[in-house]
Structure 1
Amino acid sequence: MPEAMPSHFAAGLSTRERQLLEDLYRSRSLSPYTPGQVIPLFPEEWVIVCRGVVQLTTLYPNGGEALLGFAGPSMPLGSPLTMLDPYQAKALTAVDVLRLPAAEVEASEILSQGLLKQVVRRLRQTEALLALAGRRRVEDRLRQLLSLLAVELGSPVATGVRLQVRLTHQDLANAIGTTRVTITRLLNRFRQQGWVAVDKNRHLVIKLAHAP
């Protein structure tokens, strides 16, 4: 059973509304997933990330994978939020999720208000990812992607912003429509320029203050 509701979920609600959401949250069991595990998604069910980071993808007819976004704590995902098939959610870290029937969400004004704020966060992230396609140069697309990831998945450290998840070069290549070899070459260039570093646990550290 969860100990506390993620703070972002009830932001902006009244004390009474927040208490009702906390009571709902505490009464439910969470579903845990390990890094790399695919999270099953069922029709007419909302999935709320309570801990960790989830990667959302779809597949092209040729078998290629396309990045749709990332869902962190308090952010929703699931069949009610997409028309894509296939639509896959994969745990990038240890993840706990809360499952809610769509009918229950629709019947609760307070629950709907809490989820709406997080849907808006997902929408803004999706628009930022779509904007990457407008960049002609692969280098510019990668810079913009890393800057977005620093905001969405980063935590401040002494040397910059550390990404909380370890993304492979292939993950980054899929996100911006290029090859793994190109990503490796560009990341090496960014490291030489002092804009990107890799910590002892192989997590990327983005030095936004040094961005060109």
Structure 2
Amino acid sequence: MTYTFSGFDLSSTDLVTDWRRSLEEIYRGRTMHNYKSGQIVPMYPHEVWVVCRGVVQLNTLHPSGDEVLVGFAVQAMPFGLPLTNLDPYQAIALSDIDLMRFTLNELENSAQLYQGILQHLNRRLQQTESLLALVSNKRVEERLRQILLLLKQEIGIPIDGGTRLTVRLTHQHLASAISSTRVTVTRAMKLLQDEGWLKIDRDRHIILM
């Protein structure tokens, strides 16, 4: 059986390429901020980050202390405190990342920069709607399948026989993403592997078949 992830086309390659080229041309020589996988990215009330390389996981917290995934910021996407009403709001590097930082004043004074932020903020909005839709599915296996298809569009690269997710995801990452438990996700992963729908490579990256 073939499954597709419906609802949006997140990643227009031309859109991402044009935006990145514009940033490089306009802000040549600007400081690039680097964070290692697992590091928390600091955020400030009057500044916005733009992802140049890697993947950032965006979370909030329930009063119980449980993390809730609210999105992934991938190449060219903006994130930051001025773009959310959530409190608390946390950004964690899922891979090694390179970020560029802009103040709100810079955005207001550059029509090109402001337009680029809006375009890629719209991609984030579409992604968030897709995350909300998949969490409503009662079957954990289907929620897992849908989040993996979303990630395939966001961070997948074609390889022989399938698509490899470029970020190494733990079962706990996936459990947080679909509001489940690590044990349940481990069981669902085994089912999908038995179906031949996915496999894990030697570097522990997920490959969707």
SS of 1:202 mapped into structure 2? coil
**Which of 71, 86, 103 is 1:69 aligned to?**
71
Partner of 2:135: 133
Partner of 1:145: 147
SS of 1:192 mapped into structure 2? helix
Deviation beyond 2 Å, 4+ runs, structure 1: 6-12, 21-25
- For 2:58 and 2:150, the matched residues in 1 are separated by 15
Partner of 2:167: 165
- For 1:94 and 1:7, the matched residues in 2 are separated by 24
Q: What CA deviation, in whole Å up to 9, does each residue of 1:66-85 have, x standing for no partner?
A: 01111111111001110111
- For 1:136 and 1:198, the matched residues in 2 are separated by 25
Partner of 2:28: 26
**Which of 98, 102, 108 is 1:96 aligned to?**
98
Partner of 2:193: 191
Answering whether residue 11 of structure 2 is matched by residue 11 of structure 1, we say: no
Partner of 1:123: 125
Report the residue type matching 1:203 in the other structure: H
Moved more, 152-161 or 194-203: 152-161
In our comparison, the structure showing a higher alpha carbon Rg is: 1
- For 2:196 and 2:135, the matched residues in 1 are separated by 25
Judge conservation of contact 1:9–1:115 (CA < 8 Å) in 2. Answer: no
Partner of 2:178: 176
Partner of 2:86: 84
Q: What CA deviation, in whole Å up to 9, does each residue of 1:42-90 have, x standing for no partner?
A: 1110101111111111111001000111111111100111011111111
Number of equivalent positions: 196
Judge conservation of contact 1:56–1:67 (CA < 8 Å) in 2. Answer: yes
- For 1:98 and 1:45, the matched residues in 2 are separated by 10
Deviation at 1:10, TM superposition (A): 6.4
Report the residue type matching 1:11 in the other structure: D
Deviation at 1:9, TM superposition (A): 4.6
Judge conservation of contact 1:44–1:79 (CA < 8 Å) in 2. Answer: yes
- For 2:183 and 2:99, the matched residues in 1 are separated by 34
Identity %: 51
What is the TM-score when the length of structure 2 is the normalising length?
0.89
What is the TM-score when the length of structure 1 is the normalising length?
0.87
Runs of 5+ consecutive residues of structure 2 not aligned to the other structure: 1-12
Partner of 1:112: 114
Partner of 2:10: none
Partner of 1:3: none
Report the residue type matching 2:121 in the other structure: V
Runs of 5+ consecutive residues of structure 1 not aligned to the other structure: 1-5, 13-17, 208-212
- For 2:15 and 2:38, the matched residues in 1 are separated by 25
Residues 33 and 7 of structure 1: is their aligned pair in 2 closer, same or farther, counting only changes over 3 Å? farther
- For 1:25 and 1:206, the matched residues in 2 are separated by 37
- For 1:124 and 1:70, the matched residues in 2 are separated by 11
